[in-house]
Each structure stands twice: as structure tokens, then as C-alpha cells.
Amino acid sequence: MTVLIGYVPTPVGEAALEAGLAEAKAHDDDVVILNSPRRRTTVDGELISAAAADELVARAAALGVTARVDHADHGEDLVETFTKVASSVSARLVVIGLRRRSPVGKLVTGSDAQRLLLDLDVPILAVKPAK
């Protein structure tokens, strides 16, 4: 089976990565780390380099977990990308990180995490970084 981890190079992404790798190790699963660039963006601070991707794979290997990084373009709809990748890798679990936001911030800007929780047909583990 496979665990799909949504990753960005932030404390939120690190929390998701740690939880996803622990879950994969506990259940002897493979891991796909989804680091998805936005369409039509020439510079994306959330897109990791090849060296950083290799480091994530090495971190997984140090735990005895087989991992790979997927850079599927999420374009306009991140939920659609997660749905496609989860289906293509037969994910048994999706792990995402959650940012701390005010209720007003959620109302004004919406939430991709909320949409993932509501729309994905795969169990989701949502984690927050330590304070």
C-alpha cells in the first residue's frame, strides 16, 4: 500500500512528512511525497529542488521506508491533483499539514485543506506543527 504525503518546505510540510513517514513505517507502506507546483508560476517557493527531493527520499530510507517525490502540476485545483495522484498510486492514506488560521482568514480565503478533507475519498490524516 501507499501513503501520499502533501509536502511544502515549511513547518506544516515537515509535520506532514514526519507523520506520514511514521505511518508508512508502522504499516510497511511505500510513500509518495507530493510537492506540487502551481501552474503558470515561474518561481514557486513551495517547489523543492532535486537535491531537496533526494534528501526527503534519503530521510525516508533511513527509516526503512521506500519513497519517491512527485511534482504533479496542480494548476487551478489542488484537490483534483491530490485525487488523481491518490488514485494513480492506490493510496490507502493521505497525510496533510494544517496551518493555524483565524476564522476570518478561513472565511475570506477558503481552505484547500478543508476541501481535501471534504472531497477526497481516501482516509486523511491532518496534522499541525508543534508550536
Highest mean pLDDT of the ranges 5-9, 48-52, 89-93, 107-111: 89-93
Residue 47 lies in domain: 2-127
Give the tens place of pLDDT for each residue, 74-92.
667 888 899 999 999 999 9
pTM for the structure as a whole = 0.87
Phi, psi of 10 (to 5 degrees): -140, 170
We report the CATH number of the domain holding residue 108 as 3.40.50.620
Bridge partner list, 94: 4, 124
In the chain, the number of structural domains is: 1
Can you tell me the distance from the alpha carbon of 105 to that of 50, in angstroms, rounded to the nearest whole number? 33
Contact 95, 20 (CB under 8 A): yes
Residue from 125, 131, 130, 128 nearest 22 by CA: 125
Position with higher pLDDT, 57 vs 100: 57
SS3 89: coil
5 neighbors 32 (Cβ within 8 angstroms): yes
How many whole angstroms separate alpha carbon 44 and alpha carbon 127? 23
